[in-house]
Homo-oligomer: A and B are copies of this chain.
Amino acid sequence: MDKPRKKPPALLQVSPVPLYTQIKEILRDRILDGTYQAHQQMPSESELISTFGVSRITVRQALGDLQKEGLIFKIHGKGTYVSKPKAFQNVAELQGFGEAMSSMGYETFSRVVSLKGLAAGAAVGAKLGVGPNEEVVELRRVRYLNRAPISFDVTYVSKAIGERLAKEDLAHRDVFLILENDYGYALGGAELQIESMLADEYLARQLQVEEGAPVLRIERLTMTAEGRPIDFEYLYYRGDAFQYRMRIERSHV
């Protein structure tokens, strides 16, 4: 033993998973499987302290996280409650199209219309934080849901990323997931603009709708966890076949 270990691993915690996370998972399971139901319930903090044998700060961290996820809510002098359904529970989060659809059980794939390098231009350059003459990569895709075209996406990324993306299976994999899992970028958040417009001739052909059909146009600038813009997209959804759903919270600050 030339290297004496200072601290033997503690109590019940062998894995590097924080205690509050473990407790959070247990409680989440109990909520989802109905142990703690509907609109009331949930043991008090002191009860949880006893049953899990942890300190209050740990219990509160677990409960706080669950509250942030929207699974529970607290009322001061009364207690902690399970919040109702779960249908749209966490949909105000940034997801790729495929992610969102597959989690709803839909079958999707994309057809790459084009992928080429070009000058960013003023609008795209400003979003991605590069000069208008700097080269970026533009990716045009049609997204299919159950074999019917549902959206036309134009994606802009930096030249470096774009050249890597060119080698990927873009027909079946989300760009988001490639960026995260394969390239190791931590995605942070996104800024969206949503508006309604009419399909022009080009868009109508891509989406197989009539010219003048209603289209949901979304501009989305996705950023890394550090706040650097990494992906800028124009998304055109068929108005007759797609609804953008989300759940947002009222801030009480």
Name the CB-closest residue of B to A253. B69
Residues of A at the B interface (CB closer than 8 Å) are 39, 57, 68-70, 73, 75, 81, 83-85, 87-88, 90-94, 186-198, 212, 214-217, 225-227, 237, 239, 242-253
| Chain B neighbourhood of A68, CB < 8 A | 68
Min CB–CB distance A133 → chain B (angstroms) = 23
Taking a contact as CB atoms under 8 Å apart, the answer to whether B239 and A196 are in contact is yes
Contact, CB under 8 Å: B193 / A196: no
Query: Copy number in this complex?
Result: 2
Residue of A85, A193, A195, A197 with highest tally of chain B CB at under 10 A: A195
Roughly how many angstroms separate A177 CA and B194 CA in the complex, as a whole number?
A: 25
Contact B192–A194 (Cβ < 8 Å): no
Q: Please give, as numbers and ranges, the residues of chain B lying within 8 Å of A247 by CB-CB distance.
A: 189-192
Residues of B contacting A194 in the complex (Cβ-Cβ under 8 angstroms): 194, 216, 243-246
Find out whether the CB atom of A189 lies under 8 angstroms from the CB atom of B39.
no
Using CB atoms, name the residue of chain B closest to A198.
B214
**Which of B93, B191, B195, B250 is in CB contact (< 8 Å) with A187?**
B250
